[in-house]
Structure 1
Amino acid sequence: MITGELKWYTVAATLEAAVYEALTDTPERHGVVPGAIAWDACDCGMLAVSVAQVYPSEDFPAPQSTRLGTCDAPYEVAELVVQVIRCAPNAEGQSLYPTTEALDASARSVARDAYETLRAVSVRLCEMNDARDISDFLVRPQVTQGPQGGCVGSELRALVSLLRN
């Protein structure tokens, strides 16, 4: 079981490595980041993993709603966010909008990244669960992000449970 003060960083880094290895087109910028994932410079590719929230739970995945006598809930749950972002198509030359070919290529890239991300996260969490590195997990719906600020991609959230320590 993963424990200690860096347990959630360890889970996030494990997922980041699994997704990076699974991507057909690996971005130069990748890693675990603190807090909300900023699209300050997607540089035509960024993989970022962050811990969005952590809460105690008596019954995964529900947050603890009442105090349990003198003891806390037996589990701690984190919501992890995995984003793969690419540059969005832009207008070129005298055009006011991107070409349909550029939009189609972007759609293919986002779809491939989303598939590879979902598969990598699901497989790795299943392996971690089977090895009892984690207590349980739940992969949430994957959502397309953007285009915004010249970037587009996908976001996947997963809830992961560990024993409290």
Structure 2
Amino acid sequence: MITGPLKWYTVAETLRQAVHAGLTAEPQRSGVVPGQIAWDECDCGLLAVSVSQIYLTEIFPEPAVRRVGNACDAPWEAAEIVVQVVRCAPNPDDPMAAPPPEELAASAQEVLRDAYEMMRALSTKLCEMNNERAIADFILRPLTAQGPLGGCVGNEVRAIVSLPRN
């Protein structure tokens, strides 16, 4: 099992590497980031991974709501890992006109290819980590579209991962 004070960083970085390797179009920026993922600049490629919450659990994936018997804490920790892949969205040349349909279609293809590749890489790596007992359990949440906002568009996937308390 992954343990120690940087265990959640290790999980996040392992998932980032898996998604990065699984993307056809390599993002220009890629990393594990603190807190909420910020689109500081849309440089036509961002892969960001963040740990959005960590909580105690007795029955995964439910957060503990009370002490467990005579134990001081629940036996497990769970973390919600957020993975985003963001690309540049088509912008019109004229502020009074919409982007051309062929640019929108090309962007949709890129974003949907990213969605497929993200889900495949995450499910494969999480299953592998679970089978190798690097993690205790996981749930992959639905992929959701992000944007367009500020010239960016992309996808987000959240995974809940469980590790023993240590």
Q: Once the two structures are aligned, what percentage of the paired residues are identical?
A: 62
Q: How big is each residue's C-alpha offset from its partner over 1:32-79, in whole Å with a ceiling of 9 and x where there is no partner?
A: 000000011120110000000000000000000111234200000000
Map of 2:137 onto structure 1: 136
Looking at structure 1, the residues matched to 95 and 124 of structure 2 have their Cα atoms a distance apart, in angstroms, of 46
Give the TM-score normalised by the residue count of structure 1.
0.98
How do residues 25-44 of structure 1 correspond to structure 2 at under 5 angstroms? 25-44=25-44
Looking at structure 1, the residues matched to 45 and 152 of structure 2 have their Cα atoms a distance apart, in angstroms, of 9
RMSD over equivalenced CA pairs, Å:
1.0
Map of 2:118 onto structure 1: 117
Secondary structure of the 1:24 match is coil
Looking at structure 1, the residues matched to 89 and 71 of structure 2 have their Cα atoms a distance apart, in angstroms, of 52
Give the TM-score normalised by the residue count of structure 2.
0.97
Q: CA deviation at 1:150?
A: 0.6
Aligned partner letter, 1:38: A
Q: How big is each residue's C-alpha offset from its partner over 1:105-144, in whole Å with a ceiling of 9 and x where there is no partner?
A: 0000000001000000000000000000000000001000
Q: Which runs of 5+ in 1 are unaligned?
A: none
Looking at structure 2, the residues matched to 124 and 106 of structure 1 have their Cα atoms a distance apart, in angstroms, of 27
Q: Which runs of 5+ in 2 are unaligned?
A: none
Looking at structure 1, the residues matched to 45 and 100 of structure 2 have their Cα atoms a distance apart, in angstroms, of 20
Looking at structure 2, the residues matched to 94 and 6 of structure 1 have their Cα atoms a distance apart, in angstroms, of 47
